[in-house]
């Protein structure tokens, strides 16, 4: 046993060793994690404005035909709430993502043909309102349920789109193309019936917008077995221009307020590329083709045609350098003709340079973070004023849905999920809500930057609010909140591994941004 005289010295020695150890541990931690001590800075120039925002949307293809017609009311209503609600629960959390655009697929009639349609998947056959000059408004019952729900919840904009013309108007009597690129599956002798049909549908449902063509660059034809998986047809630029002129004439002569939007390019680079793999079939360079006054296919003088171009972000999102460059090139071309841009359809397809694969359901943050990065790029580098996801509800084992419907391990568009299924909300649903719920129509995108390399930011404002959206691909860090003149309490909404668009109180001038998260800051301006 140590003598009393020696014990204090030994204790002093142990304390010094312990203190030095803690100090070196702190230095090591700060070296590798400097953000734990130093807050990052957000800079905002609210006077520097870019595009005026229009909407965030999703489509009713194809599952809504089944869900809206057959599912129990409580499950249909839960889907409606998740997609359209702008209400908050008792704790201040959003009940839904508040979509501001709903895209309705105007069917071609392959469902009535059944197996004779040569479309293998029943879920992807659609009914048609058209039947030899007669219109039956009871068709597409399941889809109509969600369209009416969108209107009931105050969704500002609805859009009707076609994958194929009604089968009675096509060359082959089917809702799929021949497989030849550029060959529109349409009987030109039916053009007056076609324009009248679309006029009546748009007028009946009071669509704000109508998109008469979808992804014209793809073949949409039968496979080697003579069968196809869904409705669709290619279209070349000259045929599209001819048909749109006819349709615009019909809308204008009858005073219809529905606006026509084109061309729904299958990839955004077909909007501006002049020597792509679709040049020989007249399916690229679509901005100049349709909106240059010197073009023989000029449509920019038609009152019924909206002064913007629609395109899909597929196959242009990886790697990061390509993601940004293609969007900057698109914006440069669109700006030359004073056109807006809508990113009107996207989900994860392909292998994306090894970054993420389309196959396999992912309800977690990996898909949510990847898509949030795409939304950020489309808004900031392509100046998209509208952004839409593909399937609002999916039964597939694929990264194509916001909400999923499965019965246990029964994944897929099959009988087991047709009449009822369990509902699964995804992190992607709520991540999209970080944008759609708070960035409302007519807000202006503004200049905003952040000092954190792994975090991207975008900003938006109107006379009442400033909204900042942070997409943090890195570790947790602390940030100083910017100040605005006469702003009230700041609110924060977080989607992360732990939270789903959850309200988080802001009680200081600094907040923590969780790792791998999307954070929306909402400033109420007094």
> Is 187 in contact with 169 (CB distance < 8 Å)?
yes
Higher model confidence: residue 1 or residue 84?
84
List, in sequence order, every residue forming a beta bridge with 198; answer none if it has no partner.
none
Angle between helices 237-253 and 191-205 (to 10 degrees): 60
Higher model confidence: residue 174 or residue 35?
174
Residue 503 confidence (pLDDT) above 70: yes
Higher model confidence: residue 34 or residue 311?
311
Higher model confidence: residue 507 or residue 518?
518
Q: Apex CA 434: angle with CA 432 and CA 438, to 5°?
A: 115
Instruction: Look up the pTM and report it.
Output: 0.92
List, in sequence order, every residue forming a beta bridge with 260; answer none if it has no partner.
210, 305
| Mean pLDDT on 20-28 | 56
How far lies 510's CA from each of 130, 415, 475, in Å? 59, 52, 16
**Residue 72: strand, helix, or coil:** coil
Those residues whose C-beta lies under 8 Å from the C-beta of residue 34, and which sit 6 or more positions away, are none
Residue 367 to residue 427: CA distance in whole angstroms: 8
pLDDT of residue 486: 81
pLDDT of residue 408: 86
Those residues whose C-beta lies under 8 Å from the C-beta of residue 200, and which sit 6 or more positions away, are 135
pLDDT of residue 526: 83
Phi, psi of 380 (to 5 degrees): -90, -40
How far is Cα of residue 54 from the mean position of the Cα atoms in its chain?
Answer: 13
Residue 467 to residue 130: CA distance in whole angstroms: 44
Mean pLDDT across the chain, nearest whole number?
A: 94
The total of other beta-carbon atoms located within 10 Å of residue 77's CB is 12
Instruction: Give per-residue pLDDT as tens, 343-376.
Output: 999 999 999 999 999 999 999 999 999 999 999 9
The total of other beta-carbon atoms located within 10 Å of residue 118's CB is 17
> Is 462 in contact with 444 (CB distance < 8 Å)?
yes
Instruction: Give per-residue pLDDT as tens, 398-443.
Output: 999 999 999 988 999 999 999 999 999 999 999 999 999 999 999 9
pLDDT of residue 17: 54
List, in sequence order, every residue forming a beta bridge with 470; answer none if it has no partner.
457, 519
How far lies 432's CA from each of 57, 256, 333, 427, in Å? 10, 32, 27, 9
The region of weakest confidence among 7-16, 88-97, 150-159 is 7-16
Place of tokens 């669509």: 207
| Mean pLDDT on 498-519 | 96
pLDDT of residue 131: 85
> Is 524 in contact with 492 (CB distance < 8 Å)?
no
Phi-psi region of 516 (alpha: psi -120 to 50; beta: other; left: phi over 0): left
pLDDT of residue 231: 98
The total of other beta-carbon atoms located within 10 Å of residue 488's CB is 10
Token duo for residue 73: 């009311």
> Is 402 in contact with 432 (CB distance < 8 Å)?
yes
Token duo for residue 198: 């679309």
Q: By percentage, how much of the chain surpasses pLDDT 90? A: 90
pLDDT of residue 302: 98
| Mean pLDDT on 236-253 | 98
End-to-end CA distance of the chain: 72
| Burial (CB count <10 Å: 0-12, 13-18, 19+), residue 181 | buried
| Mean pLDDT on 104-122 | 98
Residue 320 to residue 227: CA distance in whole angstroms: 37
Which helix (H) or strand (E) covers residue 504, if one does? strand 502-505
How far is Cα of residue 444 from the mean position of the Cα atoms in its chain?
Answer: 19
Residue 10 confidence (pLDDT) above 90: no
Instruction: Give per-residue pLDDT as tens, 46-59.
Output: 999 999 999 999 99
Those residues whose C-beta lies under 8 Å from the C-beta of residue 25, and which sit 6 or more positions away, are none
Alpha helices in 381-513 (DSSP H): 427-436
Instruction: Give per-residue pLDDT as tens, 278-330.
Output: 999 999 999 999 999 999 999 999 999 999 999 999 999 999 999 999 999 99
Instruction: Give per-residue pLDDT as tens, 115-134.
Output: 999 999 999 999 999 987 78
Give me the domains of the chain, ranges plus CATH numbers: 53-443 (3.20.20.80)
Q: By percentage, how much of the chain surpasses pLDDT 70? A: 93
pLDDT of residue 2: 43
Instruction: Give per-residue pLDDT as tens, 454-492.
Output: 999 999 999 999 999 999 999 999 999 998 878 888 999
Token duo for residue 55: 């909407």
Confidence of residue 16 (pLDDT cuts 50, 70, 90): low
| Mean pLDDT on 57-70 | 98
pLDDT of residue 218: 97
> Is 313 in contact with 370 (CB distance < 8 Å)?
no
């Amino acid at each position: 046993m140590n003598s009393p005289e020696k014990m204090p010295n030994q204790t002093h020695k142990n304390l010094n060793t312990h203190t030095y150890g803690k100090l070196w541990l702190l230095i090591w931690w700060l070296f590798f994690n400097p953000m734990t001590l130093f807050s990052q800075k957000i800079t905002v120039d609210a006077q520097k404005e870019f595009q005026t925002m229009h909407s965030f949307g999703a489509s009713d293809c194809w599952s809504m035909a089944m869900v809206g017609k057959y599912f129990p009311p409580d499950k249909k209503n839960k889907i409606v709430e998740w997609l359209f609600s702008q209400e908050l629960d008792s704790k201040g959390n959003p009940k839904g993502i508040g979509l501001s655009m709903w895209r309705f697929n105007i069917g071609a009639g392959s469902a009535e043909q059944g197996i004779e349609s040569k479309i293998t998947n029943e879920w992807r056959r659609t009914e048609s309102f058209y039947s030899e000059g007669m219109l039956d408004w009871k068709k597409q019952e399941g889809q109509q349920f969600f369209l009416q729900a969108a209107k009931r919840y105050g969704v500002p904009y609805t859009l009707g789109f076609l994958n194929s013309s009604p089968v009675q108007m096509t060359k082959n009597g089917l809702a799929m193309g021949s497989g030849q690129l550029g060959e529109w599956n349409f009987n030109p002798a039916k053009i007056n019936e076609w324009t009248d049909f679309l006029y009546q549908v748009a007028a009946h449902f009071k669509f704000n917008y109508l998109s008469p063509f979808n992804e014209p660059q793809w073949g949409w034809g039968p496979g080697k077995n003579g069968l196809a998986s869904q409705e669709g047809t290619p279209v070349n630029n000259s045929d599209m221009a001819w048909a749109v002129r006819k349709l615009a004439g019909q809308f204008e002569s009858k005073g219809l307020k529905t606006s026509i939007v084109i061309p729904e390019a299958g990839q955004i680079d077909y909007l501006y590329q002049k020597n792509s793999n679709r040049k020989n079939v007249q399916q690229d360079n679509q901005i100049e083709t349709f909106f240059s006054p010197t073009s023989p296919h000029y449509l920019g003088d038609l009152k019924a045609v909206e002064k913007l171009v629609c395109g899909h972000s597929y196959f242009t999102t990886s790697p990061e350098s390509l993601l940004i460059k293609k969007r900057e090139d698109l914006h440069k071309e669109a700006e030359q003709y004073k056109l807006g841009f809508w990113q009107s359809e996207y989900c994860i397809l392909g292998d994306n340079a090894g970054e993420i694969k389309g196959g396999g359901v992912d309800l977690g943050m990996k898909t949510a973070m990847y898509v949030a990065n795409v939304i950020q790029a489309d808004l900031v580098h392509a100046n998209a004023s509208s952004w839409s996801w593909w399937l609002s509800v999916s039964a597939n084992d694929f990264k194509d849905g916001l909400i999923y419907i499965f019965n246990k391990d029964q994944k897929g568009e099959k009988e087991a999920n047709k009449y009822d299924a369990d509902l699964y909300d995804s992190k992607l649903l709520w991540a999209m809500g970080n944008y759609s719920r708070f960035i409302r129509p007519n807000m202006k995108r503004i200049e905003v930057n952040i000092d954190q390399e792994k975090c991207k930011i975008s900003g938006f404002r109107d006379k009442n609010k400033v909204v900042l959206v942070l997409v943090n691909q890195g570790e947790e860090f602390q940030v100083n909140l910017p100040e605005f003149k006469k702003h009230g309490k700041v609110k924060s909404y977080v989607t992360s591994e732990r939270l789903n668009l959850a309200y988080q109180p802001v009680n200081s001038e600094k907040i923590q941004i969780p790792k791998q998260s999307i954070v929306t800051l909402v400033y109420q301006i007094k």
